[in-house]
Amino acid sequence: MKKPVILAVDDDPQVLNAIDRDLRAEFRRDYRVLRADSGDGALAILRELQTRAEPLALLLADQRMPGMEGVELLEKSRALFPDAKRVLLTAYADTEAAIRAINGARLDYYLLKPWDPPQELLYPTLHDLLGAWQAQHKPAFQGLRLIGFQWSPLSHAVKSALAGYMVPFEWLDFETNPAAAKLLESTEFEAADLPVVVYADGHAVARPARADLTQYLGLLTQPSGDLYDVVVIGAGPSGLGAAVYGASEGLKTLLIEREAPGGQAGTSSRIENYLGFPTGLSGTELAHRAWTQAVRLGAEFLAEEVTNLCVQDGYKVLTLSNGSEVRTRAVVLTTGVSYRKLEVPGIDALSGAGVYYGAARTEARSCDQQDVYIVGGGNSAGQAAMYLASYARRVFIVIRSKSLASSMSAYLIEQIAGTENIEILPFAQVKEVKGEGHLEAVVLQMGEQTEERPARALFVFIGAKPSTEWVCGTVICDGKGYVLTGRDLVADPRYAASWKRPREPFALETCVPGVFAAGDGRAGAMARVAAAVGDGSTAIKFVHQYLDE
């Protein structure tokens, strides 16, 4: 396989030599480093790379170049290599232009010159960008390949599972891609067995169960220890935050997740208001970084589902869906929330076949030059609209209210207003979905008028419900299923008798001492990624206090 390319562009020979030297010193083992001294020269190299089908991973361009400024070059490069990471090299005087380019040229980062020492000011940023590129890059004839039908809910589920763990894979639609039939012939399966996963070593699995995928990923499905200090249930932002802080502070920490890391936030196509990421990042990227961080610090990750929680001799005993048990001294419930289902005629039959809950980034490319609809007016809906607008012909946001002002962040509203192929449909709601085997049309109620429109996909973001059904018989939940903690327990006469200890419950403690709740599944929690991470880290503080009793 050809090495991916890193291209550096600068008209100043001294600066170009310096960046070329630093890039080769750090990245030449895994990447081919090229250089150009002008925008036109860089475009010529990019066209040659495209002709040779060589992958471009990263393009670094100086802003102040005669003939073609760096921002212009980065913008033109998108037509040739839309998935490559783009970095602008700037002086302090050019930072305003760089910030403007974040939206205009979809800039991934900007670096101030000089970057000495590169070990601190250059390499960490480039490693992060290249890691993100590698996670999304799909090299030809290498790695995992998935053969299936575009409109198969099971195919969609497998794609979503792989994407949730940031596993690079090649999707081959059996009905439209000739390579799919040829690859299927090399296995023992036929079209009736689809979807089929073909691993890099040639081993194939038809209709893969979750256990098949977790085994391929090398994830644990059985705990390695007999007793843990704290078990975190749910790997959304709150659970990942708890795992990072628990492991870093010396607690024997186990993190259990039934699906993929990230929770509801993990389905967000782009989060732009999380502290420390000025160009934004996807929910999957954020979750993967946090997961890697937690494991590096010593947390153990278990890909399983918890079905029951009980207390035996002061220890908390968790029963898993595979029948095994986990014993722990403390528990942090970070089960989060899930999107509510849209209750309209025809929708159940089309779920996963044109109707998707959450951003469904794996389906974006299949919406190329088609009309798609988004139901909901929150930030997740806005992030999905911006992402889908890069592929779809038109994106319609269906909301019941007059505008997005009361439900969406201002920065997203501004971006949507500036995107020509996004249209907001106020005072509207979906009344029915239609299609034979896959979504073909949506029926909209707009004021007093009803209109049927063709649609390639419908993405639903209509609020959330807590994923606490399995635990509400053990801890106290409110009428909507959110877990009650701290003062909410003792202040309400209905629940005060449930607390048996002489001390008051800690702020995030449930009615079961040593069982804490954090994140969106907790009553009164703020539905923000940063707040969820803070909740998870705060829960670990109270875990320490409980264990010290």
pLDDT digits (tens, 9 = 90+) for 127-136: 999 999 998 8
108, 78 Cβ separation under 8 angstroms: no
Q: Is the confidence at residue 93, as pLDDT, over 60?
A: no
- Angle at CA 22, nearest 5°, toward 19 and 25? 145
CA distance 89 to 94: 9
Sign of the CA dihedral 115, 120, 124, 125?
negative
Domains and CATH numbers, the chain: 5-136 (3.40.50.2300), 144-217 (3.40.30.10), 227-338+465-547 (3.50.50.60), 347-462 (3.50.50.60)
pLDDT tier at 242, thresholds 50, 70, 90: very high
* Mean pLDDT for the stretch of residues 459-483: 92
* Mean pLDDT for the stretch of residues 521-530: 91
Q: Is the confidence at residue 458, as pLDDT, over 90?
A: yes
Q: Is the confidence at residue 214, as pLDDT, over 80?
A: yes
pLDDT tier at 456, thresholds 50, 70, 90: very high
Reduce the secondary structure of 167-180 to three states and give it as a string.
CCEEEEECCCCHHH
Q: Is the confidence at residue 343, as pLDDT, over 90?
A: yes
CA distance 510 to 322: 26
What b/e sequence results for 109-144 when a residue is b if at least 16 CB atoms lie within 10 Å of its CB, and e otherwise? bbbebebeebeeebbebbebbbebbebeeeeeeeeb
Q: Is the confidence at residue 194, as pLDDT, over 90?
A: yes
Q: How far is CA 113 from the centre of its chain?
A: 32
pLDDT digits (tens, 9 = 90+) for 138-151: 766 567 899 999 99
User: CB 410: neighbour CB atoms within 10 A?
Assistant: 10
Phi first, then psi, for residue 127 (nearest 5°) are -65, -40
Q: Which of 140, 128, 110, 112 is nearest to 15 (CA)?
A: 112
Instruction: Report the run of H or E that residue 27 belongs to, with start and end.
Output: helix 13-27
Q: Is the confidence at residue 346, as pLDDT, over 70?
A: yes
* Mean pLDDT for the stretch of residues 224-228: 93
Report the pLDDT value the prediction gives residue 104, as an integer from 0 to 100.
61
Report the pLDDT value the prediction gives residue 94, as an integer from 0 to 100.
63
CB hemisphere CA count around 46 (13 angstroms): 27
Q: What is the pTM of this model?
A: 0.74
pLDDT digits (tens, 9 = 90+) for 495-525: 888 898 899 999 999 999 999 999 999 999 9
